[in-house]
Chain A
Amino acid sequence: MSITPEAAAALAPDSASLKAAQKLATPGKWPTLSQVGGVLWGEAQGSGAHPYLVAADLRTSELATKCSCPSRKFPCKHALALLLLHASEAGDWKALAVPEELSKWLEGRQARAEKPKTEPKEADAAQHAKTWAKREKKMGAGLEALELWLTDLVREGLLAARGRPYSEWDAQAARLVDAQLPGVARLIRQIPGLLHEDSGEALTAHLGRLYLLTQAWQGREALSKGERADLLAVLGVPLDRAACQPAEGEEWLCVGSVMEEEGRLSVRRTWLLGRAGEVALLLDFFTKAAAQGQEFLPLHQLRGALAYAPAAFAQRAVFDLVEQLGPMPLPAHLALSLADLPAHWAAALALNPWLERTGVLLGPVYFAPGQLCSPEGSALPLADEIRGSYLWYLKAQANTELAYVFGEWNGETFYPLSLSPASEARP
C-alpha cells in the first residue's frame, strides 16, 4: 500500500499533531530512514539523548504505526512525520534490517493478519430472548419514570427548572444509563444547553421529543420493523450487525467524514454515496487513547460490501472494505437543488421523526458568508464552525465556479464535507 501526503495528513488526530509532524518531516532530523517491502522505519531525533524508534506498516490496507516516544496520541507526530517523508519521497531511504524492538511487533501483526477468521458462534436464541426480555423490562421502567419526570417538569414550569443545578440533569441521565437507555441519557444531557433560551421553544420541542419516545415505546408493537429499529437506535440499543444483510461488493464514493467528541468517546461519521445516489452513514466509536482504525479519504472510490441497518429511513450502514480505488469527483447528476431539500428533509423526518441529520448532495451552489446559496437566489445557513480557514478552503476549491457539495443537514444548518467544482463534477 502506498500513501499520499494528503492521506498521511488526514491521519493526524488533531491540527497540532499535524503541524508538529510537518516540522519534523525534514530529513535532517532523521539519522536513519529505511524501507523494507511495505515496512517503513526510522530514528527520529528528539530532545533526548537517544532518537525515537518509529515504524509504519503499510503491508495491508490497515495502516499501523508504532513509536517509542511517550506520546499518547495515535498516530504520534513522529509516525506522521515518517509517513509524510515517505509520501513526499524526501530523505535518503535505505533497505536496513528491522531492529529487534520492531520485529516482534511486525511478526505479531503478520500473525494476526494470517489467522483464519473464526466464524461467530450461533446465537443461542433462547438466551438472547431472555437477555432481551430483561433489558426490555429495564428500559420500560426507565421510560415510564422518564414520562413521570417530564410531566412533573412541565407542571411545575420550565422557568423554575432554570434554577436547578446541573447535577440534577446529570443524575437523571445516570438513571437512564442504568435503565440501559444511553441514547435517551444523551438527550437529557442536552437540556442544560437549552434551558436559558428566552422563548423556551427549543427546550419545549426537545421535551416533546423525549415524551414522544416514551409513547413510541408503549406503542412499539404497532410499529413497522424499520420504525421499531429507528426507535431502538435513538434509545441507544447498539446495532446488531448480524441483522444487517450485506450486499455484494459494489463501488461507493467516500464523500467525507466528521469527528466529534461525545463524552469520553470520539465518534467518526463517514458518509458514502452509491452509484444511484443512495447515501450511507458509517459510525465508528473510539476511546480517546485508542487507534482510530481505517479512515477513508474524501472523494475517493471504495469497493466493498455495504449493508444498511434496518430502519424506516435507510441511512446507517456497515461496510466491509475490499479495495480502495482512486480519486473521483462528485456526481452532478445525483445532486439535489436547494429547492428540493425541504421536501427531501420532510420526507425523511416523516419516516424517522428522531433523525438528527442526513447526508445530502446539493448543487449547483456557491458560498457566501454564513450561507450556501443557489443561483436562483435561495440559501441555507451554514454551521457556525464554517468560517475562517475552512470557508476560505471551500471557496478556493470552488475557484469562482458553481460547485456540487456534499454535507450534513440537521434541520437548521448545513456542514459541507466535500466539494467538486462544476467543471470537474461527473456529469
Chain B
Amino acid sequence: MTLKSLAAAALRGTARSPLPALPPSPLGEALGRIQTASPEATLLARAALSGLHARAGLVLDAATVLPPVQLPPPACPLPPQLWALLPALLGTPLRSAVLDDLELGRWTLSAAQLLSLKNSGVRNLQELWPLLDERGQAVLDGHPLQVEWQKADAQAQWQARLHELQAVRTADPSAGAAQTLELWQAADANGRRDLLDLLEKGLLADDLPLLQHAETDRSAEVQRRVRMLQGHLPGPLQDELLALVPQVVTTKGDQLKFRPFQLPEALGTPNVGAVDDSDLHRLLGALPFSVLLGALDVRGEQLVQAAEKKSRSLGQQLRAQRERERPERSAEAQAPVTAADAAEWLASIQQRGQRDPATFGRLARQLDPTADIAVPQPLPFVMPARPASLSARQLALWEERQPAVHHERQAEAEAAWRSLMEVLRLRREWARALEEVI
C-alpha cells in the first residue's frame, strides 16, 4: 500500500499533491523517521525504503501443477558407443538401417537425447518418437514433436490400412469393393483421394456403386475422377467412348490430330478455368491407357508426345495413366554394388556435375565398407560442343564460363568422394559398435 500511495503522489507531483499518510506498521514507523529538507526529498527517500522493502519482502507463489511422477529409469538405454555415432548417421542414407538396428536391439532414447538431435539439425525426428523411453514420452508430452509423430503415425496406419485393403481387393474382389465403399464413406477428403488412387491402380467391376455414389461428392476433383473411372469398366459408357475416340484422335501420316467433339454427358462438364481439365482430358482419361492404344492403334509414346504438344497437362495425365498400368518395379536393384559402380558414379559427376542421390544411397548401403575407392583425378578441360542457338555475344559468355563450370564439376566429384568415404567409415564404425554391445 505504501509504495502505491507514494507512486500516486509522485504521478501527480508534490507541487499539486501532499505526501500520503503513513501506514500504522513497522514500515510506516521507519518511513516516519526519515527527515529531509523538502517534500520531494521525503517522497524520494520514502520511495527508496518502500521499494527496498517490497524487493526484500519476497512472498512465494503457489505451484500451479503437482510434482511430476517419477518414472523408473530405462531398462535398455542406447549404449554410448552407438549414441556417439547416431547424429551423423541419421543424416545419411543409412538412416533406415540404423533405426531398424535400434528397434531390433530394443534400445531407447531419453528426452534429452531427442532434443539434442533436434538441436543438431537432424530431420524427421518424429520417426524416432517410438524409440523414446517411458520417461522421455512423459517429459515431452505436448511437445510439437509429439504432434508431428502422431500425424505421421496416423498417416502410416492409414497407409497400412490401404495396403490391407489392396490385398483383400486382390483376393476377394466382391468383399474388397464392399470394404472400399465402407472406408470411402468414413474417409475425409485426403482419404478419399488416396482411395481414388487405389481404384485407379486396380478398378473392379464391383466398384461401380462407389463410383456412382461419388458422382455427387463435394469435391470437383473427386467428381471428375470418378466419372472418368466409370469409363474404365466394360459397359455402355466404355463402348460409347471406344466409338468416339477414333473420331477425335486421327492420324495424318505420322502425326496425330485432335478433332473437336461433343463430350458424353456421363463424363460431366469440365471446369473451364482449370489447366488440367477439359473435354479432351476427360475423354482420354476415361479409358485405360492400354485400351486407348488398342482403339487408336498407335504407340504409347506417340500418343503421349502428341498430347504434350496439345497441352502439357494432358501429356502429364497420359504419362501418369501409362505409369499406373506398368508392373511395379522392385524396391531396390538386386545386382551387387561394387567399387566399379562407385567409380562410374564419380565419373558421371565429373562429366555432368550433379550427384544422383538414389545412386549415392545405394552405394552407401550396399557397397563393401572396406572397398578401396580412388579419389577421382580431375579431368583435363576440353571445351564442349558449342550450342547452336546462341548469339555471338552469348557464345562468348558461354565459352568464358566453361572452364569454371568444369572446375566446379571436378570439385563436386571430389566432394562426393569424400562424402561417400565418410558414410562408409560411419558404416564400419556402426558395425563395430554394434558388435561391442550385442
Contacts and interface: CB of A to CB of B under 8 A. Distances in A.
Interface of A: 19, 22-23, 26-31, 45, 49, 88, 90-92, 147, 150-152, 154-160, 199-201, 203-209, 211-212, 215, 338-339, 341-342, 345-346, 349-350, 353, 366, 368-371, 373-375, 377-381, 389, 392-393, 395-402, 411, 423
B63 A19 contact: no
Interface in B134-171: 135-136, 138-140, 143
Specify which of B57, B111, B414 lies most central, judged by the most chain A CB atoms within 10 Å of its CB. B111
Contact of A27 (B7, B70, B421): B421
Interface stretch (B8-16, B281-289, B334-342, B393-401): B8-16
Interface in B264-294: none
Interface string B28-42: 000000000011110
Prevailing SS type, chain B contact patch: helix
B49 interface: yes
A209 B38 CA distance: 17
A52 B136 CA distance: 42
B111 A350 contact: no
B54 A205 contact: yes
Contacts of B15: 155-157
B44 A396 contact: no
Given A151-B40, A205-B54, 17 more contacts: A90-B88, A147-B41, A154-B14, A154-B44, A205-B51, A208-B47, A338-B60, A345-B56, A346-B58, A375-B67, A398-B139, A399-B110, A399-B111, A399-B112, A399-B135, A400-B71, A401-B68
B56 A396 contact: no
B43 interface: yes
Nearest to A423: B73
Contacts of A349: 52, 55-56
B10 A158 contact: yes
Nearest to B40: A151
B133 to A, nearest CB: 9
A396 B13 contact: no
A390 B56 CA distance: 28
Contact of A207 (B10, B17, B63): B10
Contacts of A374: 63
Contacts of A30: 418
Contacts of B56: 345-346, 349-350
Interface in B169-192: none
Contact of B11 (A23, A159, A379): A159
Given A19-B121, A211-B45, A379-B63, A395 B40 contact: no
Contact of A31 (B8, B41, B84, B414): B414
Contact of A155 (B13, B58, B112): B13
Contacts of A203: 7, 10
B422 interface: yes
Given A27-B419, A208-B51, A396-B112, A368 B64 contact: yes
B76 interface: no
Contact of A392 (B49, B63, B64, B115): B115
Nearest to A151: B40
A302 B59 CA distance: 36
Range class of the B interface residue count: 35 or more
Contacts, number: 206
Given A26-B422, A207-B44, A341-B58, A154 B70 contact: no
A380 B54 CA distance: 16
B41 A379 contact: no
Contacts of B111: 392, 395-396, 399
Contacts of A159: 11-13
A199 B140 CA distance: 40
Given A28-B419, A396-B139, A155 B88 contact: no
B69 interface: yes
Contacts of A341: 58, 60
B346 interface: no
A366 B68 CA distance: 8
B48 interface: yes
A378 B61 contact: yes
B253 to A, nearest CB: 52
A158 B6 CA distance: 12
Which 8 A-B pairs have CB atoms at the shortest separation, nearest pair first?
Answer: A157-B13, A205-B51, A208-B47, A208-B48, A373-B63, A211-B44, A28-B419, A396-B111
Nearest to A401: B70
Specify which of B50, B58, B88 lies most central, judged by the most chain A CB atoms within 10 Å of its CB. B58
15 contacts: A22-B120, A26-B419, A28-B416, A88-B84, A147-B41, A158-B7, A200-B10, A204-B47, A368-B65, A389-B115, A392-B115, A393-B112, A396-B114, A399-B110, A400-B135
Nearest to B39: A155
A216 to B, nearest CB: 10
A211 B63 contact: no
A373 B48 contact: no
A147 B88 CA distance: 62
Nearest to A343: B58
A88 B88 contact: yes
B404 to A, nearest CB: 7
Nearest to A395: B139
Nearest to A350: B56
A30 B231 CA distance: 59
B40 A155 contact: yes
A383 B374 CA distance: 56
Given A28-B422, A154-B43, A399 B139 contact: yes
Contacts of B45: 208, 211-212, 215
Interface string B79-110: 00000100010000000000000000000001
A9 B233 CA distance: 63
B64 A396 contact: no
B72 to A, nearest CB: 10
A411 B10 contact: no
B55 A411 contact: yes
B14 A155 contact: yes
A29 B415 contact: yes
Given A204-B7, A211-B47, A378 B64 contact: no
B1 to A, nearest CB: 11
B143 A392 contact: yes
A199 B4 contact: yes
A207 B48 CA distance: 7
Contacts of B54: 205
Contacts of A45: 411, 415
A155 B18 CA distance: 11
B139 A151 contact: no
B46 interface: yes
B65 A373 contact: yes
A380 B40 CA distance: 35
B47 A377 contact: no
B62 interface: yes
